Structure 1
Amino acid sequence: MTQNSENTLKVARQAFEHLTYGMATGEWEALLDMLTEDFTLWFPMGKFHGLNVGKQRAREFFEYVFEAFSPGLNLTGLDRVTSNETTAVFEFRDEGLLFGQLYKNRVAVSFDVRGDKICGYREYFGSDGKSY
């Protein structure tokens, strides 16, 4: 593993910790502080479908996530972490309530790292995202 890939994994792990904390509590500041000004977010569906650009749009997205999953979404298992020199992918399971309905899913999130900041985020679902 190169020094760059070690740094990428270290920064991405910190961002993932902030992400899971935000999903559980609605507190996003630690994650938002890690984002570059030109941050990009890609989401596969709904109000934030497609490419979203900027820290303000990221704030709106993460606040919406907590609103949808209030009182919080919990990580139930981290299945795999894969990384290279610029990107780390976390595959995990989560559960909670989605607009009041039982929700469980398998998710992969990808963090693009530049220095000690996150410059990109992509999210993918393992199921259709509906409650079951």
Structure 2
Amino acid sequence: MTQEMNRTLKIAQQAFEYFQHGLATGEWQQFLDMLTDDFSFWFPMGEYHGLNIGKSRAIAFVEYFSQTFEQGLTLTLDRVTSNETTVVFEFRDEGLMRGEPYKNRVAVSFDVRGDKICSYREYFGSDGKSN
């Protein structure tokens, strides 16, 4: 693994720890502090479907997320894949969505620029199974 890949992985892992904390607690400030001002994210559905640009849009998204999953989500990390600029985290999450049981399999991709996250993409699909 190159030095650049190690640096990218370290930055993304720190951001992912903050992301995981936000999922569990609704406290997102540490994650938000790691985003560039021109941060963009892609989300696969709902009000935030497609490309979203700007840190203010990310703030609105995590607020929406925290309202949807008021009690937070627990997460089990399955796999991490990285290169010089991008790190992908594959995980399972579970909790309550608007009071109803929720389980999902998710992949999130963080693009790193400098010591910040400049882009995020999320992909998920729930098959209703517990695995």
TM-score normalised by length of structure 2: 0.95
- Distance in 1 of aligned mates of 2:3 and 2:114: 11
- Distance in 2 of aligned mates of 1:3 and 1:63: 35
CA deviation vs aligned residue, 1:45-82 (integer Å, no higher than 9, x gap): 0010000011110011111111101111111x211000
Question: Following superposition, which runs of at least 4 residues in structure 1 exceed 3 angstroms of deviation?
Answer: none
**1:92 alignment counterpart:** 91
- 2:103 maps to amino acid: K
**2:123 alignment counterpart:** 124
Tell whether 2:2 aligns with 1:2.
yes
Given that 1:91 and 1:107 are in contact with CA atoms closer than 8 Å, whether structure 2 keeps it comes out as yes
SS in 1 for 2:27: coil
TM-score normalised by length of structure 1: 0.94
- 2:59 maps to amino acid: R
Gaps of 5+ in 1: none
Given that 1:5 and 1:84 are in contact with CA atoms closer than 8 Å, whether structure 2 keeps it comes out as yes
Please state how far the C-alpha of 1:87 moved relative to its aligned partner: 0.2
Please state how far the C-alpha of 1:4 moved relative to its aligned partner: 1.0
Tell whether 2:50 aligns with 1:53.
no
Identity %: 69
Please state how far the C-alpha of 1:115 moved relative to its aligned partner: 1.1
**1:19 alignment counterpart:** 19
- Distance in 2 of aligned mates of 1:121 and 1:107: 13
SS in 1 for 2:84: coil
What RMSD in Å do the two structures reach over aligned CA positions?
Answer: 1.3
Please state how far the C-alpha of 1:39 moved relative to its aligned partner: 0.3
State the aligned residue count.
129
Please state how far the C-alpha of 1:127 moved relative to its aligned partner: 1.9
**1:64 alignment counterpart:** 64
Please state how far the C-alpha of 1:126 moved relative to its aligned partner: 2.8
